[in-house]
Amino acid sequence: MYVKDYMQAVIMTVSPNDFLSTARHIMDELFIRHLPVVLEGRLAGILTDRDVRQATPSNNERTAREHHDARHEMCVSDVMTRQVYTVSPETALIEAAATFLEQKFDCLPVVDEDRILKGIITVSDFVRIYAEQHESVIF
């Protein structure tokens, strides 16, 4: 079993130059916690909901208007994670699972040898895989 057989191939991405507020809106609307950051087709980083929360001042620190303005001024590149663990479509699923467990990640972008983004695999995908394989036991 390989990552390519279970990854999400159709995914939403953002550019490093996108506003953080735009990325947050996408994450909220699609109920996702990870956005690959792509520049010229290649993976440049990853933006997580944790990155966004840490970059957004609390209400105690700013008024609602200042908070809104600060989010609109920040770009994805200001807060994204640049050093990203990745897997290839040909990575064995068990290797990806080991990476999740060892590194405590929730997602792994799937890229080819030129860092062209091919998809993403998440911990939620592993839960789905398990459920599908053990359907008669769970349901």
Residue 72 pLDDT greater than 70, yes or no: no
What is the enclosing helix (H) or strand (E) of 45?
strand 42-48
Contacts for 105 with CB less than 8 Å, ≥ 6 apart: 85, 99, 123
- Domains, the chain, in order of start with CATH, read 3-138 (3.10.580.10)
State the chain's mean pLDDT as an integer.
88
Label residue 56 by pLDDT band (50, 70, 90): confident
- Of residues 102 and 64, the one with the higher pLDDT is 102
Q: Is 64 exposed, middle or buried (CB count within 10 Å of its CB: 0-12, 13-18, 19+)? A: exposed
- How many angstroms separate the CA atoms of 90 and 33, rounded? 24
Q: Is 63 helix (H, G, I), strand (E, B) or coil?
A: coil
- How many angstroms separate the CA atoms of 25 and 6, rounded? 26
Arithmetic mean of pLDDT, 104-129: 93
Asked whether the beta carbons of 111 and 117 are under 8 A apart, the reply is yes
* CA torsion, ordered 5, 106, 125, 42, to nearest 10 deg: -40
* Whole-number pLDDT of residue 70: 53
